[in-house]
Amino acid sequence: MVSTDSLTTYVLEVILSHPALTCVFLLATLAAIHRYIRDSYKVDSFSQKHVFITGCDSGFGNLLARQLDQKGFHVIAACLTEKGAADLAAAASPRLKALPLNVTDSASIRRAVEFVSGEVGERGLWGLVNNAGRSVPIGPAEWMQSEDFTKVLDVNLIGVIDVTLQFLPLLKKAQGRVVNVASILGRLSLTGGGYCLSKWGVEAFSDSLRRDMRHFGIKVSIIEPGFFKTNVTSLDLIHADLKRLWNRLPQFVKDSYGPTYFDDYVKVQEFSMGVLCSADISKVTRCMEHALTARFPRSRYGAGWDAKFFWIPLSYMPSFVSDFVINMLLPSPKV
C-alpha cells in the first residue's frame, strides 16, 4: 500500500515538473494564504457594538445571539413569540435584550427601531442580521395557490427588505454590517413554492444593497447554508403541509401525477431533511460571526459540506447538468 507521504511527494513531483502546473499551484497557494491572513483580521471593541438579530426563537438566530453575547457584544434579539424571548433572555447575560418582532408587520418593525435607537444612541447599530424565515409551503408549483407564495415571500424577502430599510439610518451612523441569510436554494431551485423564490430575491437585494451602501462604509454579506436541522427543516412540519396541499388538489390533477407520486415525494423530503441535514448549526453561526467581526468580511459565505462541495459547484454548471442531477433526486409523475 502506498503511504500518504509517498503519494504527496509523487503529486508534488508531477506538479513541479510542469511549469504551467507549478505556476497554477503557486498562485493557488498564495491566494489561500492571502485569504487566510485577510480573514484573520478582526474589528475591535466588541463591548461597544450593538447587533440586532431577527428570528431568535430557535435555530441559527438563537445560537448566534448567545454566541455574540458571550463575546461581549450588546445583542438585541428579536423573537416572534414571548416565550422565545423569555427563554433566550434567561439563557444569556443581562446585556442581551430580547423583544417581540413580526417582520411582516411594518408597525412592529418601527417599534423595534425605536427601541434599538434608544439603546445604541449616537453610536449607531453595528450589525443587522436578517435571519427570520419560514420554509412552507414547499412542493411542486402546480400544487400552490398565490397565497402560498405570499406567505413565504412576506417573511423571507419583503420582511428582510422592510427591516433593512428601516434600520439603515442607524447602520449608517456606525458604518456597520448587514448579514442576510439566503440559502443554497437561492442558487438552485430544487422545489416549487415561495422558498426558492424568496432566497433568490434575498441574493439580488443583498447584491444591490452591498454596492449601494459601500459608499457609506456599510458592508453587506450573504450567508448560504446547505441543509441543517432547524425548525424550518422539520419533517413533521413539511409533511403536514405537503399533505394539506395534496388533499386540496382536484382529482384530475392528482391523477396526472399517479397514485404513488405523493408518497415518493415525501420520501425525497425525508431523505433530504433526514440524511443531508447537519445537526451542527454552528457551521452557519460561525459564518455570521465572521461577517460581523472580520475587518474584511466576505460577500458570500457557503455553510455546510453539502453547500461547499455539492450545491454551490452544481449551481455553476450548465442548466442541462443541474437539471439532470435534480431530476435524478426528485420523483417523476407516472404519466
* All structural domains of the chain with their residue ranges: 1-40, 46-329
Say if CB 284 and CB 225 are below 8 A apart.
yes
For residue 234, the model assigns a pLDDT of 84
Sheet holding 177-181, edge to edge: 97-100, 74-79, 50-53, 127-130, 177-181, 219-225, 300-303
Instruction: Indicate the CATH number for domain 46-329.
Output: 3.40.50.720
Residue 13 neighbours by CB distance under 10 Å? 9
| Grid coordinates given for 140 | 411542486
Provide the pLDDT for residue 13.
Answer: 62
Would you call 219 helix, strand, or coil by DSSP? Answer: strand
Rounded distance between C-alpha atoms, residue 237 and residue 222, angstroms = 26
Q: Which amino acid is at 30?
A: L
Separation CA 58–CA 295 (nearest Å): 28
Q: How far apart are CA 250 and CA 256, in angstroms?
A: 10
Residue 214 CA to residue 220 CA, distance in Å, equals 8
pLDDT tens-digit series, residues 175-201: 999 999 999 999 999 999 999 999 999
Q: Which alpha helices (DSSP H) does the chain contain, by range?
A: 4-16, 19-40, 59-70, 82-91, 106-120, 146-153, 159-174, 194-213, 235-247, 251-257, 261-271, 282-293, 305-306, 312-315, 319-329
213, 221 contact by CB (below 8 A): no
Q: Which three cell numbers stand for residue 315?
A: 449551481
Q: How far apart are the first and last CA of the chain?
A: 52
12 vs 7: CA distance, rounded Å: 9
* Active-site residue identified among 10, 36, 41, 195: 195
Position 307 scores a pLDDT of 94
Rg for the chain, CA atoms, rounded: 22
Adjacent-strand bridge partners of 220 = 178
- Residue 269's pLDDT is what? 84
What is the pLDDT at residue 277?
Answer: 84
Q: Is 36 considered catalytic here?
A: no
pLDDT of residue 103: 98
Give the pLDDT confidence score for residue 276 in this predicted structure. Answer: 80
pLDDT for 3 equals 60
Task: Going from the first residue of the chain to its last (335 residues), give the mean pLDDT of each consecutive group of 10, the final group possibly shorter.
Answer: 62 64 69 72 91 97 97 97 95 96 97 97 97 94 96 98 98 98 94 95 98 97 94 87 96 94 90 81 97 97 94 95 92 83
